[in-house]
Every structure is written in structure tokens, then in C-alpha cells.
Structure 1
């Protein structure tokens, strides 16, 4: 006996005038994410290498925060591009897992939780990157001097985010009924809605408004503390710099601040397309092709973040440049020219002696 969803797909869905498009299919996200992960992985490993082995003594205070930040970003990218890749139906508040965990049967809800935790950890690592640097300034009255205080501080940031957790248990247990309700609002989704394991997060519009409140509170808390720590750095380095440090030290502090500002601009850069999709949806426009393209764009975070980390910090940039130059010199020394003299082959070694 056919289920209600199967019956809808066999009858009502045939009235939808939809043509196949690779950009709108799950393959466009899956294949692209695998290619992106293959390109990003060597760059991420290279960035880890320069942080561990090429961080100068002058950046010793920031070595661990940089390492934690980059490591958590690597984990987030691996989760998003490989383990928990998501196919999202924005108008229906639905999603489907198309990553490795989906292939081995992990529930979509659990994949969403894993992705959310990875994203939260990466976000907190950016706050820690600024907070640790701000706390190293002796004239900063807001600096955190011990790990216990730092744990309490991060828990305070996390509290508004935790308000959204109870709503995870309000999703519809009968997912088939939830899918039918979602189809009433958006009757012609892509075929992936019927051919993959789709999880409907919410269908009750009243409950959606309640979920939005703690979500906005969490985002405001994270962004607010991030801006606060960044403001402390700008204020105590540029506006009221300490008189007890040398001019050279102040210049190094300014240089590092500019570097991490460029580095931390990457998440905001990749968030712009996501915000654009949300803005268009609020005004009644939605395209699965655009949604998939935005997901693929966001997945480039790992590539951009690794390149940015290497390029904006001068010690890392110089270390890579020296390594490339040494490889070129080594290749040039290994070249053995061959000349033909009087009908004989004569080989010259690198030092010019005939053999």
C-alpha cells in the first residue's frame, strides 16, 4: 500500500512543470563539495604546518589561539563538505543529508546537530582569537587573566544559544504528515524531496516565531561579544596605547590586529550569499538552483580561510616564499645541460666540469 507521500508523488507531483537541472539536483552539491574538499585539504595542512613550525617568538601569545581557530575551521569544513553535507529546502524548513553520514544511515537530525556544534565551536574560536590577544594588553581593564574566568565568560556567551535547544524536541514525530503539510505551502519542490531522506524541522508558523527569538538572541550574543573584543583591541592599541611598551611593540600589535581582522572577515564574506538568499525568500522569491549555488559558495570557506591565514601574516607568508624559492634553486642545481661537440655527446655537471 502506497504511503501518502508516494501517492502525492505519483499523482499531484506530475502536475508540476519541472525540468531536470543539474544545478538544482543533489549531485551539484555533492560533487562540488568533494572537489572543494580535495583542494582545501592540502592548503589546510599547509596552514597548520606554518602555525606549528613557523610562528615566530613575537607571535607566541597568539600561536595557540591561531592553532585552535584554524583546527576548528578545518573540522567544520570537513563536516560540512564531507560528513554532513546538507541539501536544504528553504521554503519548507526542510533538509536532507547527502554526505557520508547519510550514506551510512545516520539520521538527518543528528547530522544537523553535529554541524551546528562544529559551527558553534568554530565561531567561539574566533572570539577566543580576539579575546586572548586583548587579554595580553596590560592596560585592558576587561582582560581575562585565568582559565576559570575564561570558561565562565564563554558560558555567558553560550547561554542565549542554549535557549534554542529545547525546540529540537518540538519537531513533528510523524514526518510523513509534516511533509504533506510542507507540500501545502510549497507543492512543487525538486525530486530530492521525495527520493531522499528529508527531515522537516518545523511546520507550525507560530512555533517558528518562537524559535526565531532565541536564534536571534544567540546570534546577537556571539556577534556582540566578537565586536566587543575587537573594539577592546582597537581602543587599547590605537586610541589609548600603553606608554610602558616600545614603539616597535605597538607597531607589531597594530600589524597583527590588521592581519586577524582580514583573517576573520572570511566568515562574514561567505555569509553574504546566505543572507541574500534569506532576504530574497522573505520577499517571496526562491530558487533551488540559487540555494545550491550558495551552499557550494559557502563550502569554499576552507580554501579561502587557509589562503588568507597564510597570506595576511607576514612570518607565514615569508616562510612559504622562502620554501618556494629554495625548491626552485634546488631544481635549478639539478639541471644537467647536454651539448653536442664534434659529433660527441658531452655532459656538463652543475659546476662546469666536463665528464
Structure 2
């Protein structure tokens, strides 16, 4: 949808922006879900969620709170021509696409921009807090507390799987952080080139592919399954 499908269908820029923000929020919520699922699978964890209704309520409330960032779009100027002129005051030398394409200027007021950035930082801290809470609970029960209701072999397998989840999360998150870094650098220096912005957006859009490759790479069972598929195809092609 972010590679031109919505443009081809004639969907407005505002709808595209809202859908993009919703998808990013769902994506970040999925990281909380991964670690919450991991920590809730530990029998000795007193914070685990055993009821489906409790988990739905927990993740639903989290997503609702995070979705408040969408309210910032209410400040989008209705007069886009005047907004473009205000944007040119801040950046008087934009690329030619600024004049040739259908551009949506979301925010122009400096105070509003700073408020939205501050809200974004608070949102990020909120997400990181929940992820760290579940990570700390898992580390505590897998590495610190002596096993009570599980065998040593089961504990080792759980530790191995948890390490795999950490790597499968960190690898694609580096691409998401690139967008955050570019926003912070632009806010501080006001000297970010269009080429760097384009490169950052390309890295950001590769998140799904990189995450899929990470999942298939870090977990041994997936690696073996993929390897069997590749070797089987090579063997069949040689026989043909």
C-alpha cells in the first residue's frame, strides 16, 4: 500500500497517512505481543495472563493509548496552498517533487511540531516500557530463579528460543530506528537532505522482508525446514 497502490487507486493523501500510522502502531504492538506471549508461557511467572479476555483487554487498551498520536493529524491545515508557503519558509529549497506532485503538508506551526515530537517520544517510551517489563520477567524466570516446575532441558530450550526472539526483534527494529534517528537529526540540525530521507524510507519499507528473513534465520527449526526445502528442490531439479 505504501509503494503506490493507494496512489494508483486515487486514495487521498490523508487516508494514506492515517492508514500508514495505523499499520506502524499495529507493527509496534506486535512486538509487545511477542514478548507478552513469551512471558505468559512461563508457569512460574506471577504476572502471566491466563485468560484470553484479559489479554485482549490489555493489548486493546495499549493500542488505544498509542493510537492517540493520530489526533495530531487534526492539526493538518485545511488550506494546503498556504501550508505549502509556510513550509517553504522553513525549507526554501525543496526538491522539484514538492511542486510537481500532490503534496500533503501535515504540520507547519513550530510549537505544534514540537508537541507532536514530544508526544512521539512519550509514546516510544510507553512501548519500550511494556517490552522491557516482559523481557525482564522472562529473563528473571529463565536465568535467575531456579527451575521448579520444569526440567533443566526444558529450561535450556526456553532460553534458546528466547534468545532467538531477541535477535528476530532487534534485526528489523534497526530499520525502524533509522526513521526515528532521521527525525531527531532533522529537528536538531534542520539540515537533512532529500536523498537521506529517501534512503531512510526505503530502509523503513524493507522492515517486513527483513523481519521475515530474521525469523527464518535465527530459529534452528525454521533454518532446517528452509534448508530441507532448498536441498529437495535442488535434488528434484537434478533428477529432471
1:300 aligns with 2:206: yes
> Structure 1 residue 326 and structure 2 residue 232: aligned?
yes
Give 1:123 shift.
1.4
Q: Is the 8 A contact 2:29 2:63 kept in 1?
A: no
Contact 1:161 1:214 (8 Å CA) reproduced? no
Q: Is the 8 A contact 2:25 2:63 kept in 1?
A: no
Task: Give SS of 1:189's match.
Answer: coil
Whether 1:280 and 2:185 are equivalent positions in the alignment is yes
Q: CA RMSD in A?
A: 1.8
The structure-2 alpha-carbon separation of the partners of 1:125 and 1:244, relative to structure 1 and needing over 3 Å to count, comes to: same
- How many residues were matched structurally? 239
Partner of residue 125, structure 1 = 30
Matched, 1:155 2:73: no
C-alpha distance in structure 2 between counterparts of 1:309 and 1:202, whole Å: 37
Q: Which residue of 1 aligns with 2:195?
A: 289
Bigger relative contact order (CA 8 A; separation at least 6): 1
- Please report how far the alpha carbon of residue 283 of structure 1 lies from its aligned counterpart in structure 2 after TM superposition: 2.0
Bigger radius of gyration? 1
Q: Find the counterpart in structure 1 of residue 92 from structure 2.
A: 187
Q: Please name the residue that 2:134 is paired with.
A: 229
Distance in 2 (alpha carbons) for counterparts of 1:280 and 1:294:
12
SS at match of 1:224: helix
Q: Quick check: 1:158–1:218 contact (8 Å CA) kept in 2?
A: no
TM-score normalised to the size of structure 1? 0.63
Structure 1 residue 326, shift from structure 2 partner: 2.4
**Retained in 2: the 8 A contact 1:202–1:208?**
yes
CA distance in 2, matches of 1:247, 1:208: 53
2:172 and 2:210 in contact (8 A); partners too: no
Query: Cα distance, 1:131 vs. partner?
Result: 0.7
Matches within 5 A, 1:210-221: 210-221=115-126
1:275/1:168 CA distance change after superposition, 3 Å: closer
| Change beyond 3 A, Cα 1:292–1:199 | same
Detail structure 1 runs of 4+ shifted over 4 Å in the superposition: none
The one of 223, 240, 246 equivalent to 2:151 is 246
Structure 2's unaligned 5+ residue stretches are none
- The answer on whether the counterparts of 2:18 and 2:70 sit within 8 Å (CA) in structure 1 is no
| Residues 173 and 238 of structure 1, relative CA distance in 2, 3 Å threshold | same
Q: What is the rounded CA distance, in whole Å, between the counterparts of 2:44 and 2:91 in structure 1? A: 57
**Which moved further from structure 2: 159-168 or 177-186?**
159-168
